[in-house]
């Protein structure tokens, strides 16, 4: 029980640190853009690592791979942890530190996000839409395929992305508005919120007590307040101009 409580508190700690880093990002980006972006990227990756640590000790309490959002987070964590590919670089990194403004001058991108309900302010952290499929869809012939996951599990996750996280809604919207999929980015914060909410509710139902200040704060938020409308998206077009 104590091990599970420590893992919950660790995840809650990283969520608080991410928010603090995001707030500081708005100040630091005018002073040292590279540091601001790297700090935020590492803070988000720390959340994925902490989620994976929670998975390690509570996999008998919640079916992580039967839920599209939690399965996707574990896939993301593994991809970023092993980093044997160029996938899953943040929008900020791609556009501001990787000459994206210069390379994509004049192009219009589509930023898509599941809607968080109850009028909760939406945080944003974007990965390239195509990267998800390049990692798990065997039919694409991607050199960056996740080889530690067997084919049936990859196929299951592809199905979950399309039909449970409703990535097909995004791709159909993009197609109807003439966006190539290479110019779509997806906000992963609502996916993270949805996964953590399900896990926290499941753990609480098993009688696991949330201990620690951060754990108790995020217990209230993720068990009683936050909800994601997984079938509903908002879209933000952004046209890129080199600075």
Does pLDDT of 227 surpass 90?
A: no
Does pLDDT of 1 surpass 90?
A: no
Supply the pLDDT for residue 120: 59
Looking only at the bridges linking them, the beta strands covering 108-116 and 228-239 are: antiparallel
Domain that holds residue 227: 2-239
Number of structural domains the chain divides into: 1
Contact 41, 90 (CB under 8 A): yes
Up-side HSE of residue 6: CA atoms within 13 Å toward CB?
6
pTM of the model: 0.95
pLDDT single digits (tens) 31-58: 999 999 999 999 999 999 999 999 999 9
Q: Which residues contact 60 (CB under 8 A, 6 or more apart)?
A: none
Question: Bridge partners of 228?
Answer: 116
The residue written with tokens 């309490």 in the block is 61
Contact 3, 11 (CB under 8 A): no
Nearest to 196 by CA among 3, 2, 11, 4: 11
Could you give the strand order of the β-sheet that contains 228-239, starting from the edge strand earlier in sequence?
126-128, 184-187, 108-116, 228-239
Q: What does the mean pLDDT of the chain come to?
A: 94
Cα of 232 vs its chain's centroid, Å: 17
Supply the pLDDT for residue 241: 85
Measured distance CA(196)–CA(115) in Å, rounded: 16
Supply the pLDDT for residue 117: 77
């Amino acid at each position: 029980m104590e091990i599970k409580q420590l893992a919950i508190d660790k995840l809650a700690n990283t969520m608080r640190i991410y928010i603090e880093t995001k707030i500081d990002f708005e100040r630091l980006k005018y002073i040292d853009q590279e540091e601001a972006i790297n700090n935020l990227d590492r803070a988000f990756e720390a959340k994925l690592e902490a989620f994976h640590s929670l998975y390690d000790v509570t996999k008998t309490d919640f079916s992580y791979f039967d839920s599209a959002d939690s399965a996707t987070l574990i896939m993301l964590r593994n991809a970023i942890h092993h980093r044997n590919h160029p996938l899953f670089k943040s929008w900020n990194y791609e556009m501001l530190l990787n000459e994206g403004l210069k390379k994509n001058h004049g192009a219009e991108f589509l930023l898509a996000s599941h809607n968080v309900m109850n009028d909760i302010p939406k945080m944003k952290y974007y990965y390239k839409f195509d990267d998800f499929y390049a990692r798990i869809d065997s039919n694409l012939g991607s050199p960056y395929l996740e080889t530690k996951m067997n084919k049936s599990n990859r196929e299951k996750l592809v199905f979950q992305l399309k039909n449970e996280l409703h990535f097909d809604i995004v791709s159909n919207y993009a197609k109807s508005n003439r966006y190539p999929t290479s110019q779509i980015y997806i906000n992963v914060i609502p996916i993270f919120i949805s996964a953590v909410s399900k896990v926290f509710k499941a753990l609480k139902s098993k009688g696991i007590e949330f201990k620690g200040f951060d754990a108790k704060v995020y217990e209230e938020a993720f068990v009683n307040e936050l909800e994601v409308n997984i079938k509903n998206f908002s879209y933000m077009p952004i046209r890129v101009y080199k600075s």
